[in-house]
Structure 1
Amino acid sequence: MNQTFTDQAETWCRLAEQRAAQYFASLYEQVKVKSYVPVLTEDIRVWKKDHIPPFSLVSFLSGRKRKPDSRDYSRYIQWLRYTGKLDDYLDRSISYIYLRDLGQALDSPATQKKVHKLIGDIKNQLMDSAKADGGDQPDYISWAGLYRWAQKEGIETAAIWLIAKLKNVSTRIPKEMNAEQAQRKLLKIILGVILHVDDDMDDKTPPDERSRRLDEAIRLGYSYGLTYPFIDDLLDSGILTDLEKEQFTGMIRNALLTGTVPELGEWSENNRILLEFVHAELRDAFQSIQAYQRPEALSTFYEQSYVFFHSQELDRIKDLSCESYTNEELYIPIILKSSSSRLIVRSVLSADADEGFDNRTFYYGIYNQLADDFADMFDDRKDGAVTPYTYYLKYRDRRPDLINPYELYWTVISHLIHNVYRSDAKTREVILDRAINGLKRCKERLGAEKYNELMNIFASGDPEFNRLIQTMVSKADDVDFFDKLLRDQVVAVLQNNQKEKEAFSATVASVRDQINSFLHISKPHGTPGMGEALIDAANYSLEGSGKRIRPILTWVMGVNEYGLKAKEIIPLLKSLEYMHTASLIFDDLPSQDNASTRRGRPTLHQVHNIATAELTGLYLIQKATQEQTSLDCFPAKSVLALIRYSAEKTEEMCMGQAMDLQARGKALTLEQLNRICFYKTGIAFEAALVMPAILAEVPAAEIDALKKFAYHAGIAFQIKDDLLDAEGNVEVLGKPAGKDIENNNSTFVTILGQDGAGREMWEHYCLAMESLKEVPRNTAFLKHLLTYIVGRDH
């Protein structure tokens, strides 16, 4: 590497380390004399008045017993509202975010104004979410919630881009990494960047500028946040060999020093596919950050990013078996990485900051890092990671010179409250709330016995102060935080979504195999030759690699939700697939779409001839009706209603195809296209849901909700088809791409453009998701089906 770049890097690191060393020396002096003890003892004496209320038998027997577990998101928010605690809860939570993430001083009137505004916005969101859905998952922790927020801000395109990016990342995270935590970190960084941008604007910011800046924030947040799963977590995971780690870190270092991402180079076959993706994403992310930077801010970004990466590396290469690390070697890197990680965000955004921002952010970082390391202590020790806590646990008896990190933690708290934030009462309140809450969560997670053992190790230096702290841990109330609640909820949602997704995929595969096993049409004895040829043609069309979405949907709803017996609805499943296959045969004819391939194979009229294809389609429609008449395990009235419904839907599908043909070469309105689309596609989804509901004799209101879902899901499906037709290829799609343009058809893409079609698809996705709130069943399968529809690549 060029010597100039190397010298520049050494200068950056030397200056940063000098500043960190001065800060550490100041803290070290305070630790040695335990100056934090009398100061914080007085702070806690004042603080506890608002957190340990006088004993009341009534409150003990009623209110306390009714308090739900804070991990039960929905019930806990409702409890906070009911008890009148929600305002204070949000106040300390949002104040903490302004303190930690935004580097603000809480004694600033301007900051307080922003805090109160954000509290109001979040309360409104919580209320809207509670009204809309009584379930455990809040609306805004969902793709639909994200898109609805983006609509309000006029940044739908950025939201669609982000959803696609996050989906791609989630599928690429190796099993050796914690996928949920990696995604959570990425989402947290994106939200943090959005908060920085929002903090930089006010009510006077023009709407267009606000939309532009929030759009940038989403893209920059993703670009910066990507470094956590694909640099930090990847290097910590053990996936890469030592040689690959060296090569990978060298590539990152080179990019930060030169401003150019090097080529990937040679890698082992085991990790090459992963690293090709990571390299491409990080390269694009790096270039995006560069493109959004003001020229005068670019050097600051490089400097802070390099210091952050360098300090991470200093920690990463430490070996827990080494007994000779000094206190400076243990603490200076974490001062650097904890402060620079937040300074980078401001740099990435080229955002303005008040005069004390850099100092507050620099001094604050180690507090958060020590809290995080305390919480992760046992996981870190298991992984052999060197942190102040794991190192002290191992060497405290042999190294009396080692600083007790728990005592340093309280020293930092005292220093922040009184030396950095000028003894501000609100800051004291928030920081002590957070500290006690952290210990409460640790005690709950470890259990009282193990927690007390831990305290005997770390808090033995001043028993009286520790007794005070443990009294607060046991008795103090109203110290929990919304971001912790949200974090737990996000992780739970991600984990649950993954389980549901796996169950969805397993169900689809299993039911598809079952359906494929009985779709084949047998030839009765004595069938004439032409009849055999017709059956062969029908089986050819049925044997293609169809997704079988419609009969699968019918099976899941019929068997899992309505309690119908799988064997008894086989005729219904057959009829749905026969009808769908017939519609595809007619669609592919030269007089209609004139398609050459379907389901990865030549279309029926290409293999035989047009007449055979037409007759096969008619034959399958009749077979579908015949199958429906054999549903003899159900009341005749229900079967008759089902056949009548099926005939009506077949009629409507024919009308839809006729409208589609009549519209060829004509410019359609969106309303006309929606109508045609529903008749051609949405009706089939509706039938798959409504027909088993008819057999199960479910209430009319539920059937109406299912119809609403099917309407929007069907249109979303068609829009995705149009988008794939515009951008896909025959190998992936299983049919020719670009047929709509070739046939001069009006599609959602030709009417709205690709961006507009994407927005329309997500609008129908949201409407379909919202309609499921009216269905009194487990709708997890339908939700994942809808997500599959908009996320599929064929």
Structure 2
Amino acid sequence: MNKELLVDGDTCYRLAEQKAARYFASLDEHVKGNTYLPALTEYLGAWKRNHVRRQPWLSFLPRGKGKSDTGDYHRHIQWLKHTGKLDDYLDRSISYIYMRDLGQAIDSPETQAKIQRTAAGIKQRLIRSSATNKGEPPEFISLAGLYRWAQKEGVETAAIWVIGKLKAVSDHIPEGMNAEHAQRKLIKIIVGVVLHAIEEMGDERSPAERARRLDEAIRLGYSYGLTYPFIDDLLDAQVLTEQEKARYSRIIRTALLTGSVPDPGEWAGTNKAMIQFVHAELQEAFEYIKRHQRPETQQLFFEQAYVFFHSQELDRAKHLSHAQYTNEELYIPIILKSASSRLIARSVIGAPLDEDFENRTFYYGIYNQLADDFADLFDDMEAGAVTPYTYYLTYRHQRSDLINPFELYWTVIFHLIQHVYHNDAKTREVILNRAINGLKRCKARIGTEKYNRMMEILASGNPGFDRLLRQMAAKAEDVDFFDKLLRDQLILMLKNEHKFKEEFVDTVETAREQINNALQIAKPDGIPPMKETLIDAANYSLVGDGKRLRPILSWVMGVQEYGLRAQAIMSLLRSLEYMHTASLIFDDLPSQDNASTRRGRRALHLVHNSATAELTGLFLIQKAVQEQASLDQFDAGTVLALMQYSARTAEDLCAGQAMDLNAKGKALTLEQLNAICFYKTGKAFEAALVMPAILAQVDEREIANLKTFAYHAGIAFQIKDDLLDLEGDARLLGKPVGKDAENNTSTFVTVLGQEGALKQMWEHYCLAMETLKEMPRQNVFLKHLLNYMINRDR
């Protein structure tokens, strides 16, 4: 290694290892002597009186008030509010976050006041959200909710940045890794770092300083969190070869020891592109963290990061087939990695050294790790992973010296209550709530039979204590936590997003195929040659690689939302694409935008001439009118209303194009841009939504909502188009980039700048999403369409 060492890895790890060894020795002594049992049994007995009701009392509870299904987020929140349990639920949940994530002792009046303020604020948002979200994911974990929070805090730019980064990470998670798991962990780390920044700032900062610190925390959180999917998970997965893993680990180790990321060199094989992306992203993240470290905290950060990485490497190198690992070899790396991961979340923001925080966090980490390993025992056994639980289950009959990890888990709980938090009553209550909740969640997840079998193996040998644990896992109430509810909802949302995305793609492809097969205009026998030319020109324009967004949207609204038959509305779909294609032909003319390519092919006026292109556009408009008049399976009055609406929309589209042409070379205001966009783009989206609604004879209120949604979605779509013209890939777009600048056209980018245009796009995204909440139908397709509009690359 030629570069000068920033960190003496051997020394810093040895010192950390010595501290962990002392901690483990004290835990080991309690386990072997069973000295944790008397006090812990007493604590649990007292706790039981408040959480386990006598069975006969349940019969006096009003129907529906006794239990709630925590799988239904909004119903559970409403149930907590209805039963008067919401305040206690939030108090213990926020208290736990202050203990676990922020490393605080919750017995101080100052911390208690913060917990109460935080809980009160969350309560207001929960009640409002549960009343308005109609079964949708909570606003805490929606993109619109994130952006609205960012606006309030003045960190919209950071929010837009991190949303883009999260999408890029998701797109580059290789097969063989769990994308939802990676995203969840990354989001969790970002939130944790932001919480630390908020706690460190207090209430004394100016709005500008608070925004600056939060912006920095979001980026630092992402930069640190990126290590989970692209170091920890990647090295755990079966994606890289053993040689690649060793080489990749050396790169990470070198970066942590020297403070400089080495070049990966040539990387052959199927993983080359993925490694190039991962390396570039990690290098950017590493440099960002390094730049934002204060000189007095930089050494601490790199030492903690090295201890974290090295302890993970030691743990990762273990094999379940090796029968001779000592208890120290099993547990000390776990103590170090679980503590370091939380210590880094504070040191990454350059917070000053706090010995009380350091000690609490150091002792606390293994509690969560053992709880997680307990919950994942069967999955880890199946994967052949080495954890204290899998190793104990494998070798307990051969090795009488092995510590029962479940006993150690309860010993850690005893140690935390008794020695770290000095037997504070509220802290004791929260820790025991969390422990019993872990048992209940595990039992619910793996089933009673597996759970009982596992508990028989892991029993402490003290019948009274073991019986007490089983009883509480079966009967204890009011032990659930808000962070677990959010975690479950986030996992569900990410899984649903993946499923809905696949369904969205399938729906689009199904609709596109039906539409493409029906678009071609036939040439009847005996028509004049020039009409054949017009039909050929029209078909040339129709055959291009179009997105077909408008007819696809009408197909989905008509068939899936309103129950109309696909064949019955095919004439409507053709009319929409004929009108849209005609508008593109006119748009490309030398007298207008003078475009050379369209839909990945030469523009029509270059294949033929401008006169033919103009006539072809008019021909397609008349074909569209003819198709609408052919909707003979609907009431004549309804079809007439549709044609009248279509004609008014065509007038507005012409006006929008005229406004756009008149604006060339002129400096426009945002209001003028919005007007042009509404008439030129938004009205086309509106027509695609409203015309099937007219055929389905829905009420005027729903049509008004559809129009509002289309207005905001149309503007968001146009802003994305303007951004793609600035930074897109011409091969993907199917048309040249930079045409707006070449034509001296005012766009959202030229008027607002790139950052301002992004903010406007997200504002209209939020307004469109908020409009969807007011609709009587929960249209999942429209949500994914909106997400597609702002995330597309073409």
Q: Specify if TM > 0.5.
A: yes
In the alignment of these two chains, the number of paired residues is: 794
Alignment of structure 1 residues 375-774 onto 2, 5 Å: 375-774=375-774
Q: Which amino acid aligns with 1:393?
A: L
Q: Is this contact kept in 2: 1:114–1:199, CA < 8 A?
A: no
CA apart distance, 1:136: 4.0
Give the aligned partner of residue 282 of structure 1: 282
After TM superposition, list the pairs within 5 Å mapping 1:88-487 onto structure 2: 88-352=88-352, 354-487=354-487
What is the one-letter code of the residue matched to 1:760? Q
**8 Å Cα contact 1:9-1:257 kept in structure 2:** yes
Q: Distance in 1 between matches of 2:60 and 2:306?
A: 54
2:29 corresponds to:
29
Compute the displacement of 1:66 (Å): 4.9
Task: Give the distance between the partners of 1:778 and 1:40, measured in 2 at CA.
Answer: 49
Q: Secondary structure at the match of 1:328?
A: helix
Which position in structure 2 is the counterpart of 1:15? 15
Describe the superposition over 1:258-282 as per-residue Cα deviations: whole angstroms up to 9, x where unpaired: 1111112232321111111111111
Kept in 2: contact 1:72–1:136 (CA 8 A): no
Paired AA for residue 19 in structure 2? R
Q: d(CA) in 1 for partners of 2:29 and 2:556?
A: 67
Alignment-mate amino acid for residue 567 of structure 1? Q
Deviations 1:73-101 (A, max 9, x none): 11111100000101110111111111111
Cα offsets for 1:261-314 (capped at 9, x unmatched): 111223232111111111111111111111111122111111110110000011
- 2:190–2:221: 8 Å Cα contact kept in structure 1? yes
> CA distance change for structure 1 residues 746 and 7 in 2, over 3 Å: closer, same or farther?
closer
User: Which amino acid is the alignment partner of residue 110 of structure 1?
Assistant: E
Deviation at 1:57, TM superposition (A): 3.7
**Take 1:61 and 1:115, find their aligned partners in 2: how far apart are those partners?**
31
Shift of 1:6: 10
Q: Distance in 1 between matches of 2:446 and 2:558?
A: 44
- Output the CA distance in 2 between the equivalents of 1:65 and 1:256: 54
Structure 2 CA distance for partners of 1:63 and 1:14, relative to 1, 3 Å: farther
On the 8 A contact 1:708/1:768 being kept in 2, the answer is yes
Name the CA distance, whole Å, in 2 between partners of 1:147 and 1:779: 21
Name the amino acid aligned to 2:203: D
Report sequence identity in percent.
Answer: 68
| Separation in structure 2 between the aligned mates of residue 3 and residue 554 of structure 1, nearest angstrom | 62
The C-alpha deviation readout for 1:89-125, integer Å capped at 9, x for no partner, is 0111111111111110111222112111211221122
Q: Secondary structure at the match of 1:546?
A: coil
CA drift at 1:204: 2.1
Give the Cα–Cα distance (whole angstroms) in 2 for the partners of residues 297 and 75 of structure 1: 46
Q: Which runs of 5+ in 1 are unaligned?
A: none
Secondary structure of 1:672's counterpart equals helix
Deviation >3 Å, runs of 4+ = 2-7, 53-61, 63-66, 352-355
Judged with a 3 Å threshold, the aligned counterparts in structure 2 of structure 1 residues 411 and 65 are, in CA distance, closer, same or farther, namely same
Asked if the contact 2:407–2:460 (Cα under 8 Å) also holds between the matched residues in 1, the reply is: no
Q: Is the 8 A contact 2:7 2:299 kept in 1?
A: no
Q: Counterparts of 1:98 and 1:423 in 2: how far apart (Å)?
A: 17
Q: Tell me by how many angstroms 1:63 deviates.
A: 5.4
Are the counterparts in 2 of residues 133 and 773 from structure 1 also a CA contact under 8 Å?
yes
Mapped partners of 1:512, 1:271: distance in 2? 34
| Rounded Cα–Cα distance in structure 1 between residues aligned with 2:550 and 2:62 | 51
Measured against aligned partners, the alpha-carbon deviations of 1:397-454 in whole angstroms (never above 9, x if no partner) come to: 1100011111111111111111111111111011000011111111112222221221
Alpha-carbon distance in structure 2 between the residues aligned to 1:757 and 1:59 = 60
CA distance in 2, matches of 1:516, 1:140: 40
- Quick check: 2:571–2:630 contact (8 Å CA) kept in 1? yes
**In 2: Cα distance, 1:735 partner to 1:757 partner:** 21
Corresponding residue SS for 2:263:
coil
SS in 2 for 1:499: helix
Give the Cα–Cα distance (whole angstroms) in 2 for the partners of residues 3 and 633 of structure 1.
Answer: 78
Quick one: which amino acid aligns to residue 340 of structure 2? S
Query: 1:226–1:282: 8 Å Cα contact kept in structure 2?
Result: yes
The whole-number CA distance in structure 1 between the counterparts of 2:784 and 2:776 is 17
CA distance in 1, matches of 2:3, 2:411: 41
Letter in 2 for 1:337: K
Question: 1:673·1:747 contact (CA, 8 Å) conserved in 2?
Answer: yes
Matched to 1:591, the amino acid is: S
The farther-off stretch of 271-280 and 446-455 is 446-455
Letter in 2 for 1:587: D
Residue correspondence of structure 1 range 22-61 to structure 2 within 5 A: 22-54=22-54, 56-57=56-57, 61=61
Q: Aligned partners of 1:2, 1:391: CA distance in 2, in Å?
A: 40
Distance 1:288 1:707 in 2: 44
Structure-1 separation of matches of 2:351 and 2:8: 24
For 2:60 and 2:379, how far apart are their aligned partners in 1?
36
Which stretch has the larger CA shift, 455-464 or 704-713?
A: 455-464
For residues 617 and 722 of structure 1, the distance between their equivalents in structure 2, rounded to whole angstroms, comes to 25
Q: Is the 8 A contact 1:73 1:136 kept in 2?
A: no
Instruction: Report the 3-state secondary structure (helix = DSSP H, G, I; strand = E; otherwise coil) of the residue aligned with 2:49.
Output: helix
Q: Is the contact made by 1:154 and 1:211 (CA closer than 8 Å) also made in structure 2? A: yes
Query: Partners of 2:545 and 2:43 in 1: how far apart?
Result: 70
> Corresponding residue for 2:780?
780
Residue type of the alignment partner of 2:695? L
Offset at residue 53 of structure 1 (A): 3.8
Q: CA deviation at 1:48?
A: 2.2
User: How far apart in 2 are the matches of 1:327 and 1:55?
Assistant: 42
Helix, strand or coil: the match of 2:201? coil
Find the aligned partners of 2:562 and 2:106 in 1 and give their Cα distance.
Answer: 56
What is the distance in 2 between the residues matched to 1:6 and 1:146?
38
CA distance in 1, matches of 2:7, 2:322: 29
Q: Distance in 1 between matches of 2:111 and 2:65?
A: 37
CA contact (8 A) 2:7 2:302 kept: no
Task: Give me the whole-angstrom Cα distance separating, in 2, the residues matched to 1:682 and 1:345.
Answer: 44
Gap change, CA 1:66 and 1:523, over 3 Å in 2: farther
Structure 1 residues 779 and 3, CA gap change in structure 2 (3 angstroms): closer
CA contact (8 A) 1:308 1:336 kept: yes
Distance in 2 separating the partners of 1:344 and 1:65: 43
**Counterpart code for 1:90:** L
The aligned amino acid for 1:82 is: H
Distance (Å, rounded) in 2 between the aligned partners of 1:749 and 1:282: 30
What are the Cα deviations for residues 687-716 of structure 1, in whole angstroms up to 9, with x where unaligned? 001111111111111111111111110000
Moved more, 293-302 or 182-191: 293-302
**TM-score with structure 1 length normalisation?**
0.98
| CA apart distance, 1:718 | 0.5
